Amino acid sequence: MSHFAVVPGEVPTRLPARFRTDAPTFERTNVTRYSVFSLAKQALGGHRGWGRAWRDPEPKKRYDVIIIGGGGHGLASAYYLAKLHGIRNVAVVEKGYIGSGNSGRNTTIVRSNYMLEDNAHFYEHSLKLWEGLSEDLNFNVMFSQRGVLNLLHSDGQMDAAARRGNAMRLNGIDSDLLDRDQVRRMVPHLDFSEHARFPIFGGLLQRRGGTARHDAVVWGFARGASALGVDIIQNCEVTGIRREGNRVTGVETTRGFIGAGKIGMAVAGNSSRIARMAGLTLPIESHVLQAFVTEGIKPLVDTVITYGAGHFYVSQSDKGGLVLGGDIDGYNSYAQKGNMPLIEHCLADGMQIFPNFSRIRILRHWGGVMDMSMDGSPFICKTPIDNLYLNGGWCYGGFKATPGSGWVFAHTVANDKPHWINAGLTLERFAEGRAIDEKGGGPTPNVH
């Protein structure tokens, strides 16, 4: 087994001063503040006095900013636009109901264990926002820092993980490289037998990683944005983007034309479709990613575990169900549903590290449409079309990015230029020869 080192050092756990703003905290203009007192008061009245968490307005004729897509990213962007940049004449336009896309379909893993500079700073910024998000939103997003453990199965993987862990530490991100005995003490029921197909050599652990409740994140941002004046317009599909010359002027929707000063696209697996409405071709492909949940069992997995010799990850929900996932479908698709081959592929991988899962029954299985970019990293940037901005290409990384993505996207839209944190996440990076290929997979979206 190889020897390794991690650079010791202090790991910050609070948002550094350069990220903070003097902006007011969440303004509760027209919503009840959630607290033990409001809960007690409502309990006395049989809980019949709670108001709506967010408004349901008719669309106005025109907004300063329209965000297309009512997932976590669109709603977070609108929230930070209103909160940090004072831009409140904003609409989030969603074709279904908020959270009906990938934001409500993911396996809820949050981490910032990235090696490359552009990703590392961005995802760490996001993780720091997660650490204060429930307080900021006055909404419990059930952020649970239970740790994310990547299993390693060869000397080569140990060396690569040591390199990643050191790079993370140098960027101020926590990481611990564990040997086999440390992993065994942490998760004793993994397969450490002689017969394991790919023996466990060790693991790379990010203790500050974990999970959050995905619906709560959507609802929390929606409530916060709505309270600050943002209109959340559901059941309103964007069918076209109107342009005058090289500048966008508004969106055609199933509820009529809505004018806009600026338009932000945050539509995940539909990014290419929406961009095409404005005449733009994106380096993004759409693929289905599937997830599974088992029947509830007693506490068994108290961290997030990923398998390093295949593609499988698992955590346990508060209700006791194991939440599982694995590879995307290798071909392009817009189908928001699962299929049989992936069930076998994913569960076979899982059984290699957890043979004791074999008698647990799968309860549900679903899919979401992923926006896979050519290098596996996202875009949060201006586009070649004036006043049109892109938030997409999230691949596997979009849920953990939600607060950070909204924060820097709002900055980019408000100032018509990126924050330094997302300055590298541009569309031009391929032409400039600086792809952000964290996995080293090359220009092949379905392997990232």
Ligand X SMILES: Cc1cc2nc3c(=O)[nH]c(=O)nc-3n(C[C@H](O)[C@H](O)[C@H](O)COP(=O)(O)OP(=O)(O)OC[C@H]3O[C@@H](n4cnc5c(N)ncnc54)[C@H](O)[C@@H]3O)c2cc1C
Applying CB under 6 A, the residues found at the interface with ligand X are 68-74, 93-96, 100-103, 105-109, 237-238, 266-268, 270, 274, 289-291, 325, 368, 370, 394, 396-400
Three-state secondary structure string covering 110-173: ECCCCCCHHHHHHHHHHHHHHHHHHHHHCCCCCCECCCEEEEECCHHHHHHHHHHHHHHHHCCC
Residue 183 or 258: the one with the smaller Cβ distance to ligand X is 258
Q: Percentage helix, strand, coil, to 5, in the chain?
A: 30, 25, 45
Shortest distance in whole angstroms from residue 120 CB to ligand X: 15
Shortest distance in whole angstroms from residue 147 CB to ligand X: 14
Residue 6 or 343: the one with the smaller Cβ distance to ligand X is 343
CB-based contact 266:67 (threshold 8 Å): yes
Shortest distance in whole angstroms from residue 371 CB to ligand X: 7
Distance, in Å, from the CA atom of 203 to the CA atom of 148, rounded to the nearest integer, reads 10
Shortest distance in whole angstroms from residue 277 CB to ligand X: 8
Residue 157 or 333: the one with the smaller Cβ distance to ligand X is 333
Shortest distance in whole angstroms from residue 375 CB to ligand X: 16
Q: Which residue is nearest to ligand X (CB)?
A: 398
Q: Report the half-sphere exposure of 376 (CA within 13 A, side-chain side).
A: 17
Sort strands 256-265 and 62-68 into parallel, antiparallel or unpaired: parallel
Distance, in Å, from the CA atom of 141 to the CA atom of 244, rounded to the nearest integer, reads 41
Q: Which two tokens stand for residue 1?
A: 């087994």
> DSSP letters along 317-347, please?
-TTSEEEEEEEEEEEE----S--HHHHHHHH
Shortest distance in whole angstroms from residue 215 CB to ligand X: 11
Q: Which two tokens stand for residue 374?
A: 């050519």
Distance, in Å, from the CA atom of 17 to the CA atom of 33, rounded to the nearest integer, reads 27
Q: How far is CA 18 from CA 10, 22, 373, 419, in A?
A: 18, 11, 30, 12
Determine phi and psi for 241, rounding to 5 degrees: -120, 125
346: three-class secondary structure by DSSP: helix
Residue 75 or 227: the one with the smaller Cβ distance to ligand X is 75
Residue 130 or 201: the one with the smaller Cβ distance to ligand X is 130
Shortest distance in whole angstroms from residue 180 CB to ligand X: 26
CA 221 to chain CA centroid, Å, is: 13
Shortest distance in whole angstroms from residue 36 CB to ligand X: 31
Q: What angle do CA 340, 318, 188 make, to 5 degrees?
A: 80
